């Protein structure tokens, strides 16, 4: 399977979980690409004793994963089009890269998932 992981958060725990998920897919012999979008690309600035993001990035790259930094949504759209066409259309790549509510899509042998930290409102539960 061809897997795309979009990290749209600079939250340390969210980045860590996304990278561990990406490593899991590599262990399943999937082809995995991680796209750090906007604030997510600042992962190397985030260090927390419990979650070492830089270390997880190195594990991922050593296992054969590819990492891309997307400065803006246009660059993410170009990467999605480049790596996931013909399985997704250009319109789907635009929708994925611009829709802040996008979570995941599975078509044929591709799977694209966006990791975003979801903030809970006071007094509500998920």
Predicted confidence (pLDDT) per residue in 42-74, tens digit: 666 656 678 888 888 899 999 999 999 888 889
According to the model, what pLDDT value does residue 39 have? 59
Residue 40 confidence (pLDDT) above 60: no
Q: Where are the domains of the chain?
A: 2-115
Mean pLDDT, the chain, rounded, equals 85
Beta partners for residue 48, in sequence order: 51
According to the model, what pLDDT value does residue 11 have? 82
Q: What SS3 state is found at 18?
A: helix
Give me the residue label for tokens 């991922």. 60
Residue 99 confidence (pLDDT) above 50: yes
pTM for the complete prediction?
A: 0.86
| Class of domain 2-115 (CATH, top level) | alpha beta
According to the model, what pLDDT value does residue 78 have? 95
Residue 120 DSSP label? P
Residue 22 confidence (pLDDT) above 90: yes
End-to-end CA gap in the chain: 30
- Spatial CA neighbour of 92 closest among 105, 110, 109: 105
Give the Cα separation of 21 and 24 in Å (integer): 5
At residue 115's C-alpha, the angle toward residues 18 and 38, to 5°, is 105
Q: Contact at 8 Å (CB) between 107 and 90? A: no
Q: Contact at 8 Å (CB) between 18 and 56? A: no
């Amino acid at each position: 399977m061809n897997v795309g992981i979009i990290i749209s958060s600079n939250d340390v725990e969210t980045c860590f979980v996304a990278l561990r998920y990406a490593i899991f897919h590599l262990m399943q012999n999937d082809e995995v690409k991680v796209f750090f979008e906007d604030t997510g690309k600042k992962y190397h600035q985030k260090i927390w004793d419990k979650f070492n993001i830089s270390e997880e990035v190195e594990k991922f790259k050593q296992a054969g994963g590819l990492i891309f930094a997307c400065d803006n949504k246009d660059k993410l759209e170009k990467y999605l089009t480049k790596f996931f066409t013909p399985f997704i259309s250009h319109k789907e790549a635009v929708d994925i890269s611009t829709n802040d509510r996008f979570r995941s899509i599975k078509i044929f042998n591709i799977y694209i998932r966006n990791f975003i930290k979801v903030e809970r409102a006071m007094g509500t539960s998920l």
